[in-house]
């Protein structure tokens, strides 16, 4: 174990991003007595939850010269977990009164944004945020002393470029902006239109069209149903489906699930592994996103390799720079907000010196062991940060480091019940449930914070 930093030291910390991760990071860092500056390139807090009709000029989002739109949220989006599970642990996402509030248990994106604004107001976060200020470069400033970081940022309005030194940097820039795409044999001569779900907003442009969505995530599920209301036909293709998959979705006369696309052709046809051939107007890649840190210059010490951000100890600290550089929100298939909260508490406590980290060598050893385990299990690199079933173990480990209570039993059970309900009834799972006893338990806990 490396010696902890001298206890309760206060540092000058830069947080990149004022989405759900950056907001709670700022709160926890300040609670620990650090001085915090949050850089946010947008005009307001909320990150991906700031819905916009705007989409990128390149519908596939591959052109490096495109102007990037941060949010991938579509107009009809309702959250995919219950509001009880979604909120931060100590600032429950309860129903609040107000003209444009959405009291549903699975509310729309606007309600999440309103909740994040409530959070920012409650804890006075905005006073720490420099809005419309984009971080363009983060690099070690060794000449300034060990662990120091140089942050170069540009402020949109005043067209000011700043160059500053910080003790530590916490990266909270979001991971749903830089799309991944499926490889499709024959695509260069296929005459139809291609796009990524990052640029999907409303179903109207798909009226009377034949559309293929590639993917099996929440986006593919939600968007296929959204579009099916107006499209001629909607086909969902997915590489994890068995080759003979061909299923008509109940409740629709125009929505099918297939195996993966085998090839596409000059005549506009799409051939699936299941042998079906369909003439298609639009292919939408609902194939997720890549980690992307365009501002980060670590001389190749921190890399993104096949969507593995590494090396990272516990998905947070690169050993070579720990604790002066950290990342929040890298794991996926998680309940994000509670995890962000615990990661933030851990980082804040490590920086102020009362939570020790292992030695660099031990951290590296643990990372290597973890990578070897993945390899032995045949898990591809790109799934390094997928948590799923192990998320609560991870959260509890973080909680133990910070002296916090473990994940509430109701939250675990509710999360599980939600997954089962979603699988069984994707159509109605946001409006019908029977886990009333878990809701009561959640609200009993929430009463501690009201």
* Residues engaged in binding ligand FAD (CB under 6 A): 16-22, 39-42, 47-49, 70, 72-73, 77, 79-81, 86, 134-135, 172-174, 176, 219, 295, 329, 336-337
Identify which of 229, 174, 239, 184 has the alpha carbon closest to the alpha carbon of residue 206: 229
Question: What secondary structure does DSSP assign to 111-178, as a single string?
Answer: HHHHHHHHHHHHTT-GGGEETTEEEEEEEE-GGG-TT-EEEEEEETTTTEEEEEEESEEEE---SSSE
Residue 330: CB minimum distance to ligand FAD, A: 9
Pairing of strands 255-258, 12-16: unpaired
Contact of 135 with 153, CB cutoff 8 Å: yes
Nearer to ligand FAD, 247 or 420 (CB): 420
Would you call 412 helix, strand, or coil by DSSP? helix
Residue 323: CB minimum distance to ligand FAD, A: 19
Residue 142: CB minimum distance to ligand FAD, A: 22
Contact of 412 with 356, CB cutoff 8 Å: no
Residue 99: CB minimum distance to ligand FAD, A: 23
Residue 9: CB minimum distance to ligand FAD, A: 26
Residue 335: CB minimum distance to ligand FAD, A: 6
Nearer to ligand FAD, 13 or 280 (CB): 13
Assigned token pair, 420 = 């089962």
Residue 94: Cβ within 10 Å count:
15
Nearer to ligand FAD, 135 or 234 (CB): 135
Nearer to ligand FAD, 80 or 298 (CB): 80
Nearer to ligand FAD, 179 or 192 (CB): 179
Identify which of 320, 332, 286 has the alpha carbon closest to the alpha carbon of residue 182: 286
Nearer to ligand FAD, 173 or 391 (CB): 173
Return phi, psi of residue 439, to 5°.
-65, -45
Nearer to ligand FAD, 201 or 258 (CB): 201
Assigned token pair, 315 = 């998905």
Nearer to ligand FAD, 18 or 284 (CB): 18
Question: How far is Cα 374 from Cα 391, in angstroms, rounded to an integer?
Answer: 16
Residue matched to tokens 């980082």: 347
Residue matched to tokens 């309005």: 157
Nearer to ligand FAD, 171 or 438 (CB): 171
DSSP count for the chain of H helices, then E strands: 9, 21
CA distances from 38 to 18, 23, 32, 134, 312 (A): 7, 8, 16, 10, 22
Residue 181: CB minimum distance to ligand FAD, A: 16
Residue 365: CB minimum distance to ligand FAD, A: 28
Contact of 179 with 25, CB cutoff 8 Å: no
Residue 126: CB minimum distance to ligand FAD, A: 13
Residue matched to tokens 């860092």: 29
22 burial via Cβ count (<10 Å: 0-12, 13-18, 19+): buried
Nearer to ligand FAD, 153 or 274 (CB): 153
Residue 319: CB minimum distance to ligand FAD, A: 22
Residue 266: Cβ within 10 Å count:
10
């Amino acid at each position: 174990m490396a010696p902890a930093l001298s206890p309760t030291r206060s540092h000058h910390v830069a947080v990149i991003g004022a989405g759900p991760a950056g907001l709670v990071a700022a709160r926890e860092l300040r609670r620990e007595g650090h001085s915090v500056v949050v850089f946010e390139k947008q005009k307001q807090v909320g990150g991906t939850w700031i819905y916009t009709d705007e989409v990128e000029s390149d519908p596939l989002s591959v052109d490096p010269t495109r102007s990037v739109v941060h949010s991938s949220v579509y107009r009809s989006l309702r959250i995919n977990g219950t509001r009880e599970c979604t909120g931060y642990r100590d600032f429950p996402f309860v129903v609040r009164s107000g003209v444009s509030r959405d009291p549903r248990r699975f509310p729309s994106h606007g309600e999440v944004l309103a909740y994040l604004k409530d959070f920012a107001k409650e804890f006075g976060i905005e006073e720490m945020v420099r809005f419309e200020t984009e971080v363009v470069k983060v690099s070690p400033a060794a000449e300034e002393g060990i662990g120091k970081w140089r942050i170069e940022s540009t402020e949109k309005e005043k067209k000011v470029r700043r160059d500053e030194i910080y003790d530590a940097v916490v990266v909270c820039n979001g991971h749903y902006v830089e799309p991944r795409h499926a490889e499709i044999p024959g695509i260069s001569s296929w005459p139809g239109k291609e796009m990524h779900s990052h640029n999907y907003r409303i179903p109207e442009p798909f009226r009377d069209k034949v559309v293929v969505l590639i993917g099996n995530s929440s986006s593919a599920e939600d968007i296929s149903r959204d579009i099916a209301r107006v499209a001629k036909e909607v086909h969902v293709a997915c590489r994890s489906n068995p080759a003979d998959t061909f299923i008509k979705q109940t409740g629709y006369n125009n929505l099918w699930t297939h195996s993966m696309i085998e090839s596409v052709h000059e005549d506009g046809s799409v051939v699936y592994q299941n042998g079906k051939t369909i003439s298609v107007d639009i292919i939408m890649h609902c194939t997720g996103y890549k980690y992307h840190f365009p501002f980060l210059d670590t001389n190749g010490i921190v890399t993104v390799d096949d969507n593995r951000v590494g090396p990272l100890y516990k998905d947070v600290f690169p050993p070579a720079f720990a604790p002066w550089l950290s990342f929040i929100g890298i794991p996926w298939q998680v309940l994000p907000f509670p995890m962000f909260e615990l990661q933030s508490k851990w980082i804040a406590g490590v920086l102020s010196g009362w939570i020790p980290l292992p030695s660099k060598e031990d951290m590296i050893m643990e990372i290597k062991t973890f990578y070897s385990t993945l390899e032995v299990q045949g898990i591809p690199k790109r799934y390094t940060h997928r948590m799923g079933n192990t998320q609560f173990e991870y959260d509890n480990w973080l909680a133990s480091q910070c002296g916090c209570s473990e994940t509430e039993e109701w939250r675990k059970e509710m999360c599980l019940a939600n997954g089962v309900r979603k699988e069984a009834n994707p159509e109605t799972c946001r409006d019908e449930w029977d886990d009333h006893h878990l809701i009561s338990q959640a609200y009993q806990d929430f009463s501690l914070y009201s």
